[in-house]
Amino acid sequence: MCRDVGNHLVKLIIEADGGSRGNPGVAGSGAAVLSESGELLIEIARFLGIATNNVAEYTALIAGLQEALRLDAGASIHVRMDSKLVIEQMGGGWKIKHPDMISLGAKVQELVRGREVTWQWIPREQNSRADALANKAMDEMADYTAYLRSPARDVSTPAAKASSAALTEFNANLPSSVRAPGKVTEPLTTLILVRHGRTALTEAHKISGGDGDDPELSEAGRQDASAVSKLIASFGKPGRYEHLAPASAIVSSPMQRTRETAAFIGEAVGLEVETLENLREIGFGDWDGHTSAEVAASEPEVWDAWRGSWTFAPPNGESLETFDKRLQAGREKILREHAGKTVVVVAHVMPIRGFLRWGFAATEASYWRSQVAPCSVTIIRAWGDQAAEVLAVNVTEHL
C-alpha cells in the first residue's frame, strides 16, 4: 500500500498528548494525524477513565499510530510529542522500567516495527492541538474521531473526482445541511444499519418475525454476510467510505440470523458483538412461516385491516405502535451507551425502518415506504436526539 508522491514516500505526522486530572485521575488522550505539508487529516480523542499521565500519553501515541497506519500502511511517520519520557523511551535513549509502561511500549514497538518512524520532542506550547483533544476527551468523557481529509492522491482519476464531489458539502463533525438546528452539543454517533443475510424463509418469501421460527443463514445468506463484512471493514480506509470513522462497536438483534451476520462483521473488524433484545424483528404471531398470499387467502378481512395500520396487530402478534416503542427505546440505549462511536447495528427490516423513521422524523407510513434488502447497508449520523442525518439507504453494491 506504499505510495510514492514526488519521488518520496508519503509522510504522515502524528502529534500526541495525554493528561490526567489527579495523576492518577480522570484521564484522556488526544492525537492528530497530519500530512507532510501540515494539513490536518484525522483528530482522535480517547477517554480513559482513571489513569496516569504516562498511560494517557502512551495511549495517545498508540491511537495516533493505529489511525495513521489505517490511513496509509506504507507511509513514513514522524512523531511529535511534549512528553520527554515517551520520546526518549521510544527513540531508544531511555529504558522502560515501569510495568504499565512496558506493555504499552511493546504495543508501540509492535506498530512501528519495520516502518520508517522518527521521534521529536517539542515544547508543550507547540502541542496545543493534541492537548485540546485530550481535554475534549476528559471534558466530554467520551471518545471522538474525525476523518477530515486523506493524504495527497492523484485527483485526476475518476474515483478521486467522484469522492471529492461527494464530500464537497460534507461536514465531518456537525450536520451538513445549513438548515439543520444550530448549537448541536451531543457527540456524533454514526449508525451503520445492516440487515441480516438470507435464510430459507427469506428465499421462500415466507413471513419471518421475532416470535416464530429462528432460522439460521442459508448458504446464500452466509455469502451475503461475508460480502457486507468486507464493506464494513473498508470504513475509514481510502475509498468510498474513507470519510466515516471505522466501526468501534457492534450491536445485534438476539436472533440467530442476525447474530451469524454480526459474527462475520466482528471477525472482519476485530470487535466483539453485543446483543440487544429491542432489535428483535416485529412479531407476526400466527402468520409466521406463511407466505403473504396464504395469509391473505385464509384471513382476507384481518389481512386488509392490518395493512397500513399503526395499531392493528396480527393474531398473537405485535402492532407497529407497540413495536416502535420497543425499537426506539433500543435506539436511545445505543446512542446513550455508544455516544461518539461508529456503531454497526445488525437487525431486520422493521427495526431498520424504525431507525429511518426516527432519522427522517417521519410518520408511521415510513414503515412501508423503504426497501431494506438482505445485508443492505443504511447509514445515519446522530447527535443524540438533537439532530440526525441520513447518509445512505439500502446500499447493495457490495452484494
List the chain pLDDT tens, one digit each, 399 residues.
Answer: 333 333 345 789 999 999 999 999 999 999 999 998 888 999 999 999 999 999 999 999 999 999 898 888 889 999 999 999 999 999 888 988 888 789 899 999 999 999 999 999 999 999 999 999 999 999 988 888 887 765 554 444 444 444 556 777 788 778 888 888 878 888 899 999 999 999 999 999 999 999 999 999 999 999 999 999 999 999 988 778 888 889 999 999 999 999 999 999 999 999 999 999 999 999 999 999 999 999 999 999 999 999 999 999 999 999 999 999 999 999 999 999 999 899 999 999 999 999 999 999 999 999 999 999 999 999 999 999 999 999 999 999 999
How many CB atoms sit inside 10 A of residue 186's CB? 16
Q: How far apart are CA 101 and CA 380, in angstroms?
A: 39
Catalytic positions: 196, 281
Domain boundaries, the chain: 4-152, 189-395
Domain covering 189-395: architecture: 3-Layer(aba) Sandwich (3.40)
Cα 40 versus chain centre, distance? 21
Q: How far apart are CA 54 and CA 276, in angstroms?
A: 36
Q: How far apart are CA 178 and CA 233, in angstroms?
A: 31
Predicted TM-score (pTM) of the model is 0.65
Cβ atoms 323, 354 nearer than 8 A: yes
> What is the per-residue pLDDT for 331?
98
State the sign of the Cα–Cα–Cα–Cα dihedral 60, 66, 72, 77: positive
DSSP β-bridge partners for residue 16: 31, 81
> What is the per-residue pLDDT for 163?
53
Strands 117-121 and 76-81: parallel
> What is the per-residue pLDDT for 208?
96
> What is the per-residue pLDDT for 150?
57
CATH superfamily, domain 4-152, is Ribonuclease H-like superfamily/Ribonuclease H (3.30.420.10)
How many CB atoms sit inside 10 A of residue 84's CB? 11
Placement of cell 444550530 in the chain:
182
> What is the per-residue pLDDT for 146?
83
Cβ atoms 146, 171 nearer than 8 A: no
DSSP β-bridge partners for residue 5: 8
